[in-house]
Amino acid sequence: MLGFVIQRLLQAIMVMAVMSVIVFCGVYAIGNPIDIVIPPDATQDLREEAIRRLGLDQPLWKQYLTFAGNLMQGDFGRSFVYNIPVLELIGGRLPATLELVLISVLSATVLGVSLGVYAGYRPDSWLSKTIMAVSVLGFSVPSFWVGLILILTFAVNLGWLPAGGRGDTVLVWGVPFSFLTLDGLSHIVLPAINLALFKLAMMIRLARAGTREIMLTDTIKFARAAGISEAVILRRHLLKLISIPIITVFGLELGSTLAFAVVTETIFSWPGVGKLIIDSIGVLDRPVMVAYLILVAFLFVLINFTVDLVFALIDPRIRAGATE
Amino acid sequence: MSPVLEVTGLRTHFHTRAGVVKAVDGVSFKLEQGEIMGLVGESGSGKTVTGFSLLGLVDPPGRIVEGSVRLNGTELVGMSERDLRRRRGREISMVFQDPIATLNPMFTVGQQMRMALESHGSISGRAAAARSEELLTMVGIPSPRARLRAYPHEFSGGMRQRVAIAIALLHRPSVIVADEPTTALDVSIQAQILATMRTLATETGTSLIWISHDLAVVSSLATRLAVMYAGRVVEEGPTADILRRPRHPYTQGLIASLPAMAEPGAPLTQIPGTTPSLLSLPPGCPFAPRCPRATAACAAEPVLTRDGTRAVACFHPAEPA
Amino acid sequence: MTPLARFWSEFRENRIALVALVVVVLVVLLAIFAPLITPQDPYDMTGLSLMDARRPPGFVGSGGYAHVLGTDPQGRDLLSAILYGLRISIQIGLAAGGVALTIGAALGILAAYAGGRIETLIMRIVDLQLSFPAILLALVLVALLGQGKGQLIGALVAAQYAYFARTAYGAAKSERRKDYIEAARATPLSTRRVILRHLLPNCTPPLIVVATVQIANSISLEATLSFLGLGLPVTEPSLGMLISNGFPYMMSGRYWISVYPGIALIILIVAINIVGDQIRDQFNPRLRK
- In chain A, the N- to C-terminal Cα span, in Å, equals 9
Share of chain A above pLDDT 70, in %: 87
Answer for the pair C219, C89: CB distance below 8 angstroms, yes or no.
yes
pLDDT at B249 over 60: yes
Interface of A with B in 240-279 (CB under 8 A): 240-241
Share of chain C above pLDDT 70, in %: 80
HEC letters along chain B: CCCCEEEEEEEEEEEECCEEEEEEEEEEEEECCCCEEEEECCCCCCHHHHHHHHHCCCCCCEEEEEEEEEECCEECCCCCHHHHHHHECCCEEEECCCHHHHCCCCCCHHHHHHHHHHCCCCCCHHHHHHHHHHHHHHCCCCCHHHHCCCCHHHCCHHHHHHHHHHHHHCCCCCEEEEECCCCCCCHHHHHHHHHHHHHHHHHHCCEEEEEECCHHHHHCCCCEEEEEECCEEEEEEEHHHHHHCCCCHHHHHHHHCCHHHCCCCCCCCCCCCCCCCCCCCCCCCCCHHHCCCCCHHHHCCCCCEEECCEEECCCCCCCCC
Q: Which of C144, C255, C269 sits opposite A26 (nearest CB)?
A: C144
Nearest CA in chain B to C13: B17
Assigned domain for C149 exists: yes
CA angle B28, B32, B37 (to 5 degrees): 65
Alpha-carbon separation of residue A288 from A65, A98, A116, A267, C106 (angstroms) = 18, 18, 39, 21, 36
Among residues C175, C172, C155, which one has the least CA distance to residue C207? C172
What fold does the segment set B5-34+42-82+221-312 form as a domain?
Answer: Rossmann fold (3.40.50)
Assigned domain for C61 exists: no
Nearest CA in chain B to C289: B16
- What pLDDT score was predicted for residue C102? 92
Number of domains in chain C: 1
How many contacts does A have with B, using Cβ atoms within 8 A? 89
What is the rounded distance in angstroms from the CA atom of residue A161 to the CA atom of residue A270?
Answer: 14
Work out whether strand B92-95 and strand B175-179 pair parallel, antiparallel, or are unpaired: parallel
The CA distance from C200 to the nearest CA of chain A, in Å, is 28
The CA distance from A312 to the nearest CA of chain B, in Å, is 12
Nearest CA in chain A to B168: A226
Pairwise CB contact (< 8 Å): B115 & A240? no
The CA distance from C12 to the nearest CA of chain B, in Å, is 15
Which of A222, A243, A310, A323 is the mutation pick for testing B, counting most B CBs within 10 A?
Answer: A222
Pairwise CB contact (< 8 Å): A222 & B120? no
Question: pLDDT, tens digit, for every residue of C206-263?
Answer: 888 888 888 888 888 888 888 887 777 777 778 888 888 877 777 777 777 788 888 8
What is the rounded distance in angstroms from the CA atom of residue A147 to the CA atom of residue A160?
Answer: 15
- Mean local confidence (pLDDT), B66-91: 88
Among residues B277, B286, B280, B232, which one has the least CA distance to residue B12? B232
Answer for the pair C153, C99: CB distance below 8 angstroms, yes or no.
yes
- What pLDDT score was predicted for residue A135? 85
What is the rounded distance in angstroms from the CA atom of residue B31 to the CA atom of residue A124?
Answer: 37
Question: Does A27 lie at the interface with C, CB-CB under 8 angstroms?
Answer: yes
Residue type, A107: S
Identify the helix (H) or strand (E) that includes residue C246: helix C239-250
Contacts of B61 in chain C (CB under 8 A): 289
How many contacts does B have with C, using Cβ atoms within 8 A? 3
Q: Which of A216, A228, A316 sits opposite B115 (nearest CB)?
A: A228
Other beta carbons less than 10 A from residue A32's beta carbon: 9
Alpha-carbon separation of residue B27 from A22, A280, B72, B230, C179 (angstroms) = 70, 76, 18, 10, 43
Answer for the pair C237, C243: CB distance below 8 angstroms, yes or no.
no
- Residue predicted with more confidence, B24 or C14: B24
Which of A134, A141, A145 is the mutation pick for testing C, counting most C CBs within 10 A?
Answer: A145
Question: Does B305 lie at the interface with C, CB-CB under 8 angstroms?
Answer: no
Residues near B228 by beta carbon (within 8 Å), at least 6 away in sequence: B27, B39, B40, B41, B45, B46, B47, B50, B234
The CA distance from C36 to the nearest CA of chain A, in Å, is 29
Question: pLDDT, tens digit, for every residue of B196-247?
Answer: 888 888 888 889 999 988 888 888 888 899 999 888 899 999 998 888 888 8
Contacts of C239 in chain A (CB under 8 A): none
Nearest CA in chain A to B85: A227
- Annotated domain spans of chain A: 1-81+291-324, 86-282
Question: Does B61 lie at the interface with C, CB-CB under 8 angstroms?
Answer: yes
Assigned domain for C51 exists: no
Question: Could you tell me the pLDDT band of residue B73, with boundaries at 50, 70 and 90?
Answer: confident
The CA distance from C211 to the nearest CA of chain B, in Å, is 29
pLDDT at A174 over 70: no
Answer for the pair C137, C158: CB distance below 8 angstroms, yes or no.
yes
Assigned domain for C8 exists: no
State phi, psi for A115 to the nearest 5 degrees: -65, -40
- Mean local confidence (pLDDT), B264-277: 71
- Find how far residue B286's CA is from the centre of its chain: 22
Lowest mean pLDDT among A184-193, B14-23, B43-52, C72-81: C72-81
Work out whether strand B310-312 and strand C59-60 pair parallel, antiparallel, or are unpaired: unpaired
Work out whether strand B5-16 and strand B232-238 pair parallel, antiparallel, or are unpaired: unpaired
State phi, psi for B107 to the nearest 5 degrees: -115, 150
Nearest CA in chain A to B55: A225
pLDDT at C103 over 90: yes
Question: Could you tell me the pLDDT band of residue C287, with boundaries at 50, 70 and 90?
Answer: very low
pLDDT at B21 over 90: no
- What pLDDT score was predicted for residue C48? 67
What is the rounded distance in angstroms from the CA atom of residue A124 to the CA atom of residue C282?
Answer: 18
Answer for the pair A235, A145: CB distance below 8 angstroms, yes or no.
no
Helix (H, G, I), strand (E, B), or coil: what is residue C182? helix
The CA distance from C16 to the nearest CA of chain A, in Å, is 11
Nearest CA in chain A to C136: A259
The CA distance from B89 to the nearest CA of chain A, in Å, is 4
Which residues of chain B are at the A interface, by a Cβ-Cβ cutoff of 8 Å? 52, 55, 57, 59, 85-90, 93-94, 96-98, 101-108, 115-116, 118-120, 151, 153-154, 164, 167-168, 170-171
pLDDT at B253 over 80: yes
Contacts of A284 in chain C (CB under 8 A): 143
For residue B61, say if its preceding peptide bond is cis, omega within 30 degrees of 0: yes
Helix (H, G, I), strand (E, B), or coil: what is residue A73? coil
Q: Is A35 exposed, middle or buried (0-12, 13-18, 19+ CB in 10 A)?
A: exposed
Assigned domain for C59 exists: no
Question: pLDDT, tens digit, for every residue of C272-286?
Answer: 888 888 888 777 655
The CA distance from C280 to the nearest CA of chain B, in Å, is 19
* Helix, strand, coil abundance in chain C, percent, nearest 5: 75, 0, 20
What is the rounded distance in angstroms from the CA atom of residue A53 to the CA atom of residue C185?
Answer: 61
Which residues of chain C are at the B interface, by a Cβ-Cβ cutoff of 8 Å? 289
Question: Does A142 lie at the interface with C, CB-CB under 8 angstroms?
Answer: yes
User: What mean pLDDT, rounded, does chain A reach?
Assistant: 80
Pairwise CB contact (< 8 Å): C227 & A163? no
- What pLDDT score was predicted for residue C189? 62
Extract the runs of DSSP E, i.e. beta strands, from chain A. Answer: 170-172, 175-177
Which of B81, B96, B102 is the mutation pick for testing A, counting most A CBs within 10 A?
Answer: B102
The CA distance from B45 to the nearest CA of chain C, in Å, is 19
The CA distance from A54 to the nearest CA of chain C, in Å, is 20
Contacts of B102 in chain A (CB under 8 A): 218-219, 221-222
Contacts of A228 in chain B (CB under 8 A): 89, 115-116, 119
- What pLDDT score was predicted for residue B123? 84
Q: Which of B90, B102, B151 sits opposite A222 (nearest CB)?
A: B102
CA angle C74, C75, C77 (to 5 degrees): 120
Query: Does 1.10.3720.10 match the CATH number of domain A86-282?
Result: yes
Helix (H, G, I), strand (E, B), or coil: what is residue C136? helix
Contacts of C289 in chain B (CB under 8 A): 16-17, 61
- What pLDDT score was predicted for residue A111? 93
Chain B neighbours, 3+ Cβ pairs < 8 A: A, C
Question: Does A313 lie at the interface with B, CB-CB under 8 angstroms?
Answer: no
- What pLDDT score was predicted for residue C288? 45
Pairwise CB contact (< 8 Å): A228 & B116? yes
Interface of C with A in 95-124 (CB under 8 A): none
Other beta carbons less than 10 A from residue A48's beta carbon: 12
- What pLDDT score was predicted for residue C58? 66
Question: Does B17 lie at the interface with C, CB-CB under 8 angstroms?
Answer: yes
Residue range of the domain that includes C267: 14-40+68-287
- Mean local confidence (pLDDT), A278-291: 79
Among residues B135, B144, C5, which one has the least CA distance to residue A226? B135
Which of B54, B71, B86, B106 is the mutation pick for testing A, counting most A CBs within 10 A?
Answer: B106
ipTM: 0.85
Alpha-carbon separation of residue C202 from B123, C9, C196, C275 (angstroms) = 54, 22, 10, 21
Nearest CA in chain B to C10: B17
Pairwise CB contact (< 8 Å): B167 & A224? no
Alpha-carbon separation of residue A127 from A116, A124, A171, B209 (angstroms) = 11, 8, 42, 40
CATH number reported for the structural domain that contains residue C91 in this entry: 1.10.3720.10
Residues near A57 by beta carbon (within 8 Å), at least 6 away in sequence: A48, A51
Question: pLDDT, tens digit, for every residue of A100-142?
Answer: 898 999 999 999 999 999 988 887 888 888 888 888 778 778 8
Alpha-carbon separation of residue C135 from B59, B303, C94, C122, C138 (angstroms) = 43, 69, 18, 21, 5
- What pLDDT score was predicted for residue C158? 86
Among residues B48, B129, B119, which one has the least CA distance to residue B88? B119
Question: Could you tell me the pLDDT band of residue C99, with boundaries at 50, 70 and 90?
Answer: very high
pLDDT at A44 over 90: no
What is the rounded distance in angstroms from the CA atom of residue C41 to the CA atom of residue C75?
Answer: 12
- Mean local confidence (pLDDT), B94-107: 86
pTM of the predicted model, to two decimals? 0.77
Contacts of A230 in chain B (CB under 8 A): 85
Question: Does A214 lie at the interface with C, CB-CB under 8 angstroms?
Answer: no
Question: Does A231 lie at the interface with B, CB-CB under 8 angstroms?
Answer: no
